[in-house]
Amino acid sequence: MNYRHAFHAGNFADVLKHIVLARILIHLKAKEAPFRVIDTHAGTGLYNLEGDEAQRTGEWQEGVALVGRQPPPPQVGELIAPWLQLCGNLMAQKPPLYPGSPWISSDLTRAQDHLVFCEKHPEDAGRLRRNFERSKRVKVMEGDAWKLLPGLLPPPERRGLVLVDPPYEQDNEFKVIADALAGALKRWSTGIYAVWYPIKGMREVENFANRLAALPAGRTLRFEISRYKVQRVDRLNGCGMIILNPPWKLEDELRAIGDYLAPLFAKEGAGFLRLDWLKEEEKR
């Protein structure tokens, strides 16, 4: 695998993904009962913003740093505060760090909650393991997430989230995800599944959305930000998340958050938000 997230840590796509992750965790914590987070493509958990990779691309300057320079209105500020405060604390260190999804999940969960982080890349898995070696709530698994996931479902808690964020380097990645989720829902139909994806060619994105809409989840929500008026397959035009079995009230929260993020991350003044239901609650 050639993809290394250190080059892209803290960019606009991370901001969207991690804010959604944080909101889902906040909703899960509304009930006292424990839950489990399974991160299928976890990375290392922490990223040095002064490291060679981050300095080479500078993508975080148009992501998390931009949020810091242009703070949101009060309503949105309250919604994203858990994520933003964590980022602020880590970025104030020397060297400044950006939290990946494992670090966010660890920070925003409780003593009774458990976390499983899967990572295929041996070097990254080693770093991930070292970052959480003192945590008894965390289990790091090295290997192919799609082979590991069936054995992790359903979790003992019967509540929680599966975060899906693969590198999208394979031509058939969208199909692999859809097939994996179909199998996962058979094992754990009530779990929350949050899937991040890049927007390059819209045809493949629409086909992917249609595949996920056909899965037997109760509700399926689509949340996207596009940065350009003209879509080109040779660049990252935007990104999105499809959430299966999303928490109640998440739609309204993402609308407010998206109204802030879309113009913030727009290129050529053309950013726009898409938020709609691919599948609403089935009538009984």
CA–CA separation, 40 and 198 (whole Å): 17
- Binning the chain into helix, strand and coil, the percentages to the nearest 5 are 45, 20, 40
pLDDT score, position 283: 39
- Express each pLDDT in 167-197 by its tens digit: 998 889 999 999 999 999 999 999 999 999 9
- Express each pLDDT in 68-87 by its tens digit: 999 999 999 999 999 999 99
Are 193 and 165 spatial neighbours (Cβ–Cβ below 8 Å)?
no
Catalytic residue among 165, 252, 259, 276: 165
Looking up tokens 């660890």, which residue turns up? 106
* Residue 217, phi-psi category: left (phi > 0), alpha (psi -120 to 50), beta (remainder): beta
Task: Provide the b/e sequence for 216-238 (b: ≥16 CB within 10 Å).
Answer: ebebbbbbbbbbbeeeeeeebbb
Looking up tokens 């599966």, which residue turns up? 162
pLDDT score, position 284: 32
**Residue 165 catalytic?**
yes
pLDDT score, position 208: 97
CA–CA separation, 162 and 165 (whole Å): 10
- Express each pLDDT in 50-66 by its tens digit: 999 899 889 999 999 99
This prediction has a pTM of 0.96
Domains of the chain, each with CATH number or no CATH:
5-279 (3.40.50.150)
Question: What is the separation, in whole angstroms, between the first and last Cα of the chain?
Answer: 45
Mean pLDDT of the chain: 94
